[in-house]
Amino acid sequence: MSAIATDVTVRIYGASELGVLAQTAPGPAHPRVEYVGGEVFVGLDHRDRGSAVTQGETEGADAGFRDALRAAVSLVGELPSAVERAVVIEDEALAAAVLLDPSRVAGLELSGDPVVFPFARDRVVIVGAEDQAAIARTLDVAEELFDADRPLVSAHPMVLTDEGWAPFPWRERVPELAMRFERVLRLFSVRAYDVQTVALQRPDVHIAPAKIRVLESGVTTTFATWPQGTATLLPVVDNVIIADPSGTLSVATLTQFLDAAGDAVVRTGLSPARYFVPGDQPAAPTA
């Protein structure tokens, strides 16, 4: 590990990206990462190759890997100043340093405990847990990144606790923004499924894409279509559209669909999660 310690840079990973890499670069070829919190991990890239430091390279060298992480993090500078009570980090190495060493946020002028939004490798935002206006502006950033078709990491914010980064309980802390959070989480989920779909393509199974629908009430929901009689990998969505061979469509919530399926449908180990629906089951739920 010491041989690459001076030739690496930090890399931020989301759980969904690692889930895809588990299919495309499994086992020894999989990136070696350290868990940070929520859906976020940090690993290392070789500077000269632009490729990940893998599990195969670091087998039996846990201490060396962590030393290399610390050495890479020690080279980054200081956090930028807060603007409108938000710190926006556009440098991946600096963002990784904050995630691995939360003490770096000490002294920031924020309203409440620091909350980090790891939207993208080059767009990590830190605001105060009590600053509803800053949190709302941060959710605007998430939508801008989605609309720009940028690679995303995670929409799940984390708050700094005595034990480190932990999931931020936004439903309790900022209930007024619940609809905004739900929308952003669904947008990021659909993007993660889009990326996963490419990696999962195979001739014998339909990979159902997740889609967005905005209701007249303004609520953002997700849906996927199951062509009845077709073996399908189904994403976790709000609603399932069942298309029978005659062309008739019916709609069920995911819970209703799974209840009707019983043991016929199996949750896979994929990340983001999908359910395997066999070709001849289940029957469509009755209205």
Answer yes or no: is pLDDT of 3 > 80: no
Pick from 219, 212, 220: which is nearest to 193 by CA?
212
Alpha-carbon distances, residue 59 vs 54, 62, 217 (angstroms): 9, 7, 52
The span from the CA of 232 to the CA of 281, in Å, is 10
Residues in Cβ contact with 64 at an 8 Å cutoff, skipping those fewer than 6 apart = 1, 2, 5, 58
* Every domain of the chain and the residues it spans: 8-74, 86-190, 202-277
The pTM score is 0.90
What's the pLDDT tens digit per position in 228-266?
999 999 999 999 999 998 889 999 999 999 999 999 999
What's the pLDDT tens digit per position in 165-214?
999 999 999 999 999 999 999 999 999 999 999 888 888 899 999 999 99
